[in-house]
Amino acid sequence: MSTATVETKGLLAHLTGFVAALRGAGIPVGVGECVDTASVFAAVDVINREDLREGLATVCVKRPAYRLAFDTMFDLWWPLATGDGEALGEAGGGDPGQDGEDGDGEFGDGEPDIDAWRKALADALMDGDSETLKRLARRAVSKLGKGAAGGGRESYYSYRVMRALNPDTLVAQLLDGLLNKAESERGGMQEQVARQTIKDRLAEFRQYVDAEVRRRVAEDRGKEQVAKTTVRPMADQVDFLRAQSDDLAELRRTVHPLARRLASRLAARRRLGRSGRLDFRRTVRASLATGGIPINTHHKPRKQHKPELVVLCDVSGSVAGFSHFTLMLTAALREQFSKVRAFAFVDTTDEVTSFFSPGEDLPRAVQRIGNEANLVWFDGHSDYGHAFEIFEEKWPEAIGPKTSLLILGDARSNYRDPSLQTLKKMVSRARHAYWLNPEAQRMWGSGDSVATRYADVIEMKECRTAQQLADFVHDMLPGA
């Protein structure tokens, strides 16, 4: 408490700077929460950095997706230590003793002995001791991570550490070690479990190295600069079309609850106002128990309109990230509702509903769609017009007055006939029709995109990120 009062002004300024940085990184922190951060300061033991981190997180981070950005900012604003991190790390970091000694002597100050490093890393990974891993990461960055940054300056890089230590090549050795402990033969379940354990620990080590690099770079260039450049966009703001494979995994995790939410939203609509017209007979009968006064009224159950959903999804290469994700969404909807029909197309259309039978494993379903469904007619380039025509020809009954039609694609039709009339017919038969386009709206209509022409016929929404999809679910679907 005394430290807080002595330096209140500086601390408060620091705190508001931190909050501003959080907002800059896309984490919404309200004024009330900003006030609460000050309360956190007064309540927790500021000397204990991890308590402070969790305390601020509990006030500022209201969604798991924000946590990574928060941690990054926290490390920048409350660095564990400065310089090589040994002295301060011991005094202020809350892990007294056991630091240092064994390190520098063994690894030396001159040319780093890579084999010794790798051995130390292998031991730490084998034990799975987080503290040792953290210490090792800290030292590895300072000794191995330095490199030229242009303009005669030096900077720190994760990849240099990873290249020098090359922990992936340790896996075989670690596997032997872990399996010997488990006294079991290789190739079976034990190995799979051991692999997962090693993967977890390697990821942990990598995470420590990244954090340490951020800290060192922030020290050199100022935290504001680093804050601007190092924070990756949050998973729900990653562009579908540019998503990398690890983004996709992250995206899958954010999208899964979203798909469920979308489904539950449709279901909630269905249930709203579940009591229908007054059931006069039952009400009168029930009133006999209360002397003829109808205290409890009874209602006839309302006729339920089961939502029927038809999803038409472009799965061509140009929208790979997006289609992967939309197929997931379709699968989730398919599990929730009996009346969902899914169609995929490239330049011709095929029904893929059966691939999403409940209990089907999704990655396998996507693979099977690629192999077994009849999606390519001419040359495997998107042809929206032809796809629509085939759809109308083969499944005219799919769209009825109760159907919501959802088309997913970028509307890039390779200069072929867009067949607007067919789409118009489809839309006019459906109860609702929406088109989600993974391209930025300013790109619509450029080149071979017929998005603007389609947009005249059907309500088209830009849907580049999971966040935008969530907004769509929120705004549009209540009518479904």
User: Least distance (Å) from another protein to the CB of residue 65?
Assistant: 10
User: Least distance (Å) from another protein to the CB of residue 335?
Assistant: 9
SS3 track for the chain: CHHHHHCHHHHHHHHHHHHHHHHHCCCCCCHHHHHHHHHHHHHCCCCCHHHHHHHHHHHHCCCHHHHHHHHHHHHHHCCCCCCCCHHHHHHHCCCCCCCCCHHHHHHCCCCCCHHHHHHHHHHHHHHCCHHHHHHHHHHHHHHHCEEEEECCEEEECHHHHHHHHCHHHHHHHHHHHHHHHHCCCCCCHHHHHHHHHHHHHHHHHHHHHHHHHHHHHHHHHCHHHHHHHHCCCCHHHCCHHHCCHHHHHHHHHHHHHHHHHHHHHHHHHHHCCCEEEECHHHHHHHHHHHCCCCCCCCEEECCCCCCEEEEEEECCHHHHHHHHHHHHHHHHHHHHCCCEEEEEECCCEEECHHHHCCCCCHHHHHHHHHHHCCCCCCCCCCCHHHHHHHHHHHCCCCCCCCEEEEEECCCECCCCCCCHHHHHHHHHHCCEEEEEECCCHHHCCCCCECHHHHHHHCEEEECCCHHHHHHHHHHHHHHC
Q: Judged by CB, which is closer to another protein: 199, or 232?
A: 199
- The residues that touch another protein, with contacts defined as CB under 8 A, are 30, 32-33, 35-36, 38-40, 42-45, 48, 50-51, 54-55, 57-59, 61-62, 64, 67, 128, 182, 184, 187-197, 199-200, 252, 257, 260-261, 264-265, 268, 271, 274, 290, 293, 295, 359-361, 470
- ∠19-22-27 over CA atoms, to 5°? 120
Q: Judged by CB, which is closer to another protein: 236, or 392?
A: 236
User: Least distance (Å) from another protein to the CB of residue 426?
Assistant: 31
Q: Judged by CB, which is closer to another protein: 60, or 346?
A: 60
User: Least distance (Å) from another protein to the CB of residue 131?
Assistant: 12
What is the rounded CA–CA span in Å between residue 261 and residue 136? 42
Q: Judged by CB, which is closer to another protein: 10, or 401?
A: 10
User: Least distance (Å) from another protein to the CB of residue 201?
Assistant: 9
User: Least distance (Å) from another protein to the CB of residue 376?
Assistant: 29
In which residue are the tokens 């929404």 written? 461
Residue 9's Cβ-side half-sphere holds a number of Cα atoms within 13 Å equal to 0
Q: Judged by CB, which is closer to another protein: 42, or 114?
A: 42
Strands 459-462 and 146-150: unpaired
Q: Judged by CB, which is closer to another protein: 200, or 393?
A: 200
Q: Judged by CB, which is closer to another protein: 36, or 347?
A: 36
- ∠159-466-267 over CA atoms, to 5°? 145
User: Least distance (Å) from another protein to the CB of residue 321?
Assistant: 18
What is the rounded CA–CA span in Å between residue 235 and residue 225? 22
DSSP bridge partners of 403 = 308
Structure tokens at 365: 């379903």
User: Least distance (Å) from another protein to the CB of residue 266?
Assistant: 12
User: Least distance (Å) from another protein to the CB of residue 474?
Assistant: 8
At residue 466, φ and ψ (nearest 5 deg) are: -60, -30
Residue 21's Cβ-side half-sphere holds a number of Cα atoms within 13 Å equal to 26
Q: Judged by CB, which is closer to another protein: 67, or 242?
A: 67
Q: Judged by CB, which is closer to another protein: 187, or 401?
A: 187
User: Least distance (Å) from another protein to the CB of residue 333?
Assistant: 15
Q: Judged by CB, which is closer to another protein: 116, or 249?
A: 249
User: Least distance (Å) from another protein to the CB of residue 352?
Assistant: 18
Q: Judged by CB, which is closer to another protein: 310, or 332?
A: 332
User: Least distance (Å) from another protein to the CB of residue 88?
Assistant: 21
Structure tokens at 260: 């469920």
Q: Judged by CB, which is closer to another protein: 113, or 361?
A: 361
User: Least distance (Å) from another protein to the CB of residue 475?
Assistant: 13
Q: Judged by CB, which is closer to another protein: 40, or 226?
A: 40
